[in-house]
């Protein structure tokens, strides 16, 4: 994938560029907001990783300008630690996701991947299917190999998110934000507990495991190759 | 001195009073003059009418006699009777005036000259009667009035200047006291306060407000210093540990050990960052900037959702987490913050109780009040330690071994305060009860 990284911290930006390149992405790094905006408008990227705090032209202004001129590139906003309002502000201006600095690289990678292949919202599917696991979003029914699986509402939401991001790594924080709407880290391992319950309902008794734990990163729902 | 507000005010007021006194004087003078002049004319008019009547009844001889008689009487008016051939009688007989009112200079005994205002009346057969009086009395009264008001004017100016000076000196002293205190505080003496005279006047009010502001600032500074100390103290331990881990990693012989040390160091770092995030979040909530985002929300539903999310984990830790409520309980608030408060209270209950305990979350609506109660049946907290639980980084002795930042309840308390409520800790007999009364929403 082709990524644009706008980050004024040269050292941090270079590190992220190297790591993202190693993960298989083509990355352009721009340390200035003005240059970043020019690149975002003239070149074609799959995802824009945008630092909120930039000298001269800040991230929010770039985002606003892009959205006003009809550029619909997915944007991951990087915001400073400890500011709830900045997240809301960023999302209101049209950011697709946000990440609080400092973050683990796997978190950034997972979110970039999640954004890139996001299907257009207009033709949202009614049925999600991964391997022999099938979710009917209208009837809110889940089956595996034809056998019905009873899920509680939170488990349903969790599975839906995993299925929508099938084949991609989903971090604990992404799940907390998307399924629980927690924008903070609880001390209790509620994600682990719910995933393990979900796993016991979805995978137990089936030869092929669909829900995988990715060590040090999160989870991944993946069909048999 | 010229810049002193009080002195300038005193000068302006003195000038205004002086002008008022002068205007009053001029008005009284004019009124007095007009009244005296009317009186003068009517007296002379009446006299002339009497003498004309005398002429009609008694003839020329009668008038002549009357004029001579009156002319001799001391203190009387001035008279004159003139015939076709010349003066006949009276001091004014020699004056040649036209008929009606006029004024002439008359030489008195002793050589002094006086202005006499007189009325000349024509009698039949070429005789003329003159009656007048000098203006000395009116002029004397003028002098009295003028002198009186000049004195009053002088008094006003002197009193105004003296009063202004006194007032200005008093005000300057009190202003100097206030700015002196401000200067002392700028120099770092935070304990100074403005003296209050006790008169209950405007300046006393100002001083009291000023002192209240200083008390508030001092309290904030104390709490800020406390927080800084707490942060320094509570981060020193994890930072030291982090440093040790990194050192151990550097010295480690094989790759596996090094990797392990690095991973542990990252965990330590995450814990430190979490503490930072917690502190910043408390600061943000206490700043109150989020109040604009308040919306009506169902606290019972939020609490039920949190309980549903945490019940499986609680169960794994062999604790029972249950929700009790009897329907919607709407309050005005920030859903994100209230969820975090609920999570912190629930986690607090789950973490500080032994396995086998029960944690109950209840939300009830009653009489315009929505009450949230989180109780556990654990060991509870001694009454004298309960309020300290809200202090940042405060942890009970027995909790020191369990991981935790000691910020959970501080943040919960900050969220409650941001919603105009307060967490009251009590005895659940056995266990701890946390109760929050919110004002019910629309």
Following DSSP, what letter does each residue of B177-209 receive, concatenated? Answer: HHHHHHHHHHTT-TT------SS-SHHHHHHHH
pLDDT tens string B200-241: 888 888 888 989 988 888 888 887 887 788 778 778 888 888
Of A103-107, B80-84, B351-355, B402-406, the range with the lowest mean pLDDT is: B402-406
Question: In the predicted model, is pLDDT for residue A20 greater than 90?
Answer: yes
Mean pLDDT of B254-280: 87
Q: Is A55 in contact with A8 (CB distance < 8 Å)?
A: yes
Which pLDDT value is given to residue B217?
86
Q: Is the pLDDT confidence value at B346 over 90? A: yes
Spatial strand order in the sheet of A218-221:
A170-171, A218-221, A211-214
Contact A183 B310 (CB under 8 A): no
Distances (CA, A) of B430 to A130, B125, B358, B402, B436: 50, 136, 11, 21, 19
User: What is the nearest CA distance from B216 to chain A, expressed in angstroms?
Assistant: 26
What does the pLDDT read at residue B1? 47
Q: Give the range among B63-72, B353-362, B411-420 with minimum mean pLDDT.
A: B63-72
Local structure of B327: helix, strand or coil = coil
Residue B91 or residue B311, greater confidence? B311
Instruction: Say what the pLDDT of residue B288 is.
Output: 65
Q: Pick B313's closest partner by Cβ from A83, A104, A190.
A: A190
Q: What is the reported pLDDT for A79?
A: 85
User: Hey, what are B223's tokens?
Assistant: 């709490």
Residue B389: both structure tokens together: 């639980």
Q: Which residue of B has its CA nearest to A88?
A: B293
The 8-class DSSP code of residue B431 comes to S
CB within 8 Å: A190 and B273: no
Is the CB of residue B122 less than 8 Å from the CB of residue B99?
Answer: yes
pLDDT of B326 strictly over 60: yes
> Does B312 contact A82 at a Cβ distance shorter than 8 Å?
no
Q: Under a CB-based contact definition with an 8 Å cutoff, are residues B167 and B6 in contact? A: yes
pLDDT number for residue A183: 86
pLDDT band of residue A83 (cuts 50, 70, 90) is: low
B371 touches chain A (CB under 8 A): no
What is the model's pLDDT at position B441?
A: 82
Q: Which residue of A has its CA nearest to B282?
A: A82
Whether B275 and chain A come into contact, CB under 8 Å, resolves to no
- Asked whether the predicted pLDDT for residue B405 surpasses 70, the reply is no
**What residues of chain A lie within 8 A of the CB of B281, using their CB?**
82, 84, 184
Q: CB distance B312–A182 less than 8 Å?
A: no
Q: Which of A159-168, B92-101, B326-335 has the lowest mean pLDDT?
A: B92-101
Give contacts of A104 with chain B, Cβ < 8 Å: 266
**Chain A contact set for B321 (CB, 8 A):** none
> Testing the interface with A: which of B291, B343, B395, B402 to mutate, by most A Cβ within 10 A?
B343
Instruction: State the residue for tokens 């609680």.
Output: B314
pLDDT band at B361 (very low <50, low <70, confident <90, very high): very high
pLDDT at A212 exceeding the cut of 80: yes
The per-residue pLDDT for A195 is 95
Q: What is the helix (H) or strand (E) element at residue B157, kind and residue range? A: helix B136-186
CB contact under 8 A, B312 and A187: no
Contact B403 A180 (CB under 8 A): no
Query: Is residue B284 within 8 angstroms of chain A, CB to CB?
Result: yes
pTM: 0.67
Instruction: Tell me what pLDDT residue A154 has.
Output: 92
Residue A2 pLDDT greater than 70, yes or no? yes
Tell me the C-alpha distance between B36 and B141, whole Å: 9
pLDDT at A11 over 60: yes
Q: A187 vs B404: CB contact, 8 Å cut-off?
A: yes
Indicate if the pLDDT at residue B3 is higher than 70: no
- Please give, rounded to a whole number of angstroms, the shortest distance from the CA of B16 to a CA of chain A: 59
Give the whole-number percent of chain A exceeding pLDDT 70: 95
Q: Give me the phi and psi of B97, to 5 degrees please.
A: -120, 160
pLDDT surpassing 60 at residue B2: no
Residue B309 to residue A180, Cβ atoms within 8 A:
yes
B123 three-state secondary structure: coil
CB within 8 A of B420, min separation 6: which ones?
B438, B439
Instruction: Among A100, A186, A194, select the one facing B343 at the smallest CB separation.
Output: A186
Give Cα B252 to chain centroid, integer Å.
70
- H-helix or E-strand containing B82? strand B78-83
Tokens coding B190 = 């935070």
Q: What is the pLDDT of residue B95?
A: 80
By C-alpha distance, the chain B residue nearest A177 is: B336
- Confidence at residue B173, expressed as pLDDT on a 0 to 100 scale: 86
Mean pLDDT over B262-276 rounds to: 87
Asked if B293 is an interface residue toward chain A (Cβ–Cβ < 8 A), one would say yes
pLDDT reading at A6 higher than 80: yes
Q: What average pLDDT does this structure show over B175-188? A: 89
Residue range B128-140: average pLDDT? 82
Q: Provide the angle, in degrees to the nearest 10, between the axes of the packed helices A33-42 and A59-68.
A: 20
pLDDT > 90? residue B25 = no
Closest to B397 measured CA to CA, from B438, B361, B352, B359: B352
**Chain A residues near residue B404 by CB distance under 8 angstroms:** 187
Q: What is the pLDDT of residue B359?
A: 95
Q: CA B41 to CA B149: how far, in whole Å?
A: 27
**Both ends of chain A: CA-CA distance in Å?**
22
Task: Report residue B407's pLDDT band, with 50, 70 and 90 as the boundaries.
Answer: confident
Of B268, B265, B283, B319, nearest in space to B410 by CA: B283
Mean pLDDT value of segment A112-133: 79
Indicate if the pLDDT at residue B163 is higher than 50.
Answer: yes
Residues of A in contact with B293 (CB under 8 A): 88
| Chain B residues inside the 8 Å CB shell of A186 | 310, 343, 347
CB contact under 8 A, B280 and A81: yes
Q: What is the pLDDT of residue B58?
A: 85
């Amino acid at each position: 994938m082709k990524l644009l990284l706008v980050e004024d911290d040269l050292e941090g930006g270079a590190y992220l560029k190297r790591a993202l390149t190693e993960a298989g992405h083509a990355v352009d790094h721009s340390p200035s907001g003005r240059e970043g905006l020019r690149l975002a408008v003239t070149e074609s990227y799959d995802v824009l990783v945008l630092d909120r705090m930039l000298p001269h032209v800040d991230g929010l202004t770039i985002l606003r300008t892009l959205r006003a001129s009809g550029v619909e590139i997915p944007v991951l906003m990087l915001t400073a630690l400890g500011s709830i309002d900045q997240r809301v502000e960023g999302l209101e201006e049209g950011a697709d996701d946000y990440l609080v600095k400092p973050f683990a690289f796997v978190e950034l990678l997972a979110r970039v991947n999640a954004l890139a292949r996001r299907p257009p919202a207009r033709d949202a599917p009614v049925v999600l299917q991964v391997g022999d696991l099938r979710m009917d979003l209208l009837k809110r029914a889940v089956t595996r190999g034809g056998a019905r699986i009873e899920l509680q509402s939170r488990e349903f939401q969790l599975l839906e998110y995993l299925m929508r991001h099938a084949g991609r790594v989903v971090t604990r924080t992404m799940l907390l934000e998307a399924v629980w709407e927690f924008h903070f880290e609880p001390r209790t391992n509620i994600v682990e507990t719910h995933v393990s319950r979900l796993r016991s309902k979805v995978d137990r008794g089936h030869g092929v495991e669909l829900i995988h734990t990715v060590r040090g990163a999160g989870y991944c729902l993946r069909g048999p190759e | 001195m010229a810049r002193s507000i009080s002195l300038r005010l005193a000068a302006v007021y003195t000038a205004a009073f002086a002008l008022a006194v002068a205007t009053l004087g001029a008005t009284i003078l004019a009124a007095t003059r007009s009244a005296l002049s009317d009186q003068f004319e009517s007296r002379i008019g009446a006299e002339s009418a009497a003498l004309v009547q005398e002429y009609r009844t008694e003839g020329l001889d009668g008038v002549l006699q009357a004029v001579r008689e009156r002319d001799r009487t001391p203190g009387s008016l001035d008279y004159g009777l003139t015939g076709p051939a010349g003066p006949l009688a009276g001091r004014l007989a020699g004056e040649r005036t036209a008929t009606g009112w006029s004024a002439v200079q008359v030489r008195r005994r002793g050589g002094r000259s006086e202005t006499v205002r007189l009325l000349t009346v024509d009698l039949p057969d070429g005789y003329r009667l003159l009656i007048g009086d000098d203006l000395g009395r009116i002029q004397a009264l003028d002098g009295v009035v003028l002198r009186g008001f000049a004195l009053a004017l002088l008094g006003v100016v002197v009193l105004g200047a003296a009063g202004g000076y006194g007032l200005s000196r008093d005000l300057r002293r009190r202003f100097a006291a206030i700015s002196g205190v401000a200067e002392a505080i700028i120099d770092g003496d935070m304990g100074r306060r403005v003296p209050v005279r006790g008169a209950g006047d405007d300046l006393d009010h100002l001083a009291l407000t000023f002192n209240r502001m200083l008390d508030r600032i001092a309290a904030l500074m104390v709490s800020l210093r406390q927080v800084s100390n707490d942060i320094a103290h509570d981060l020193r331990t994890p930072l030291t540990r982090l440093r040790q881990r990194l050192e151990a990693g550097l010295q480690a012989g094989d790759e596996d050990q090094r990797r392990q040390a690095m991973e542990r160091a990252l965990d330590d770092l995450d814990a430190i960052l979490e503490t930072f995030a917690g502190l910043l979040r408390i600061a943000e909530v206490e700043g109150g900037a989020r109040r604009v985002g308040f919306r009506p929300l169902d606290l019972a539903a939020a609490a039920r959702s949190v309980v549903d999310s945490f019940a499986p984990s609680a169960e794994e830790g062999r604790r029972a987490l249950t929700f009790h409520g009897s329907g919607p309980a709407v309050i005005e608030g920030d859903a994100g913050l209230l969820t975090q408060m609920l999570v912190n209270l629930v986690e607090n209950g789950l973490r500080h109780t032994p396995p086998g305990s029960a944690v109950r979350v209840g939300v009830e609506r009653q009489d315009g009040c929505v009450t949230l109660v989180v109780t556990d049946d654990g060991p509870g907290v001694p009454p004298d330690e309960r309020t300290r639980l809200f202090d940042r980084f405060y942890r009970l002795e027995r909790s020191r071994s369990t991981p935790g930042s000691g910020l959970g309840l501080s943040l919960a308390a900050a969220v409650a305060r941001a919603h105009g409520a307060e967490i009251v800790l009590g005895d659940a007999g056995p266990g701890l009860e946390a109760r929050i009364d919110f004002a019910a929403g629309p």
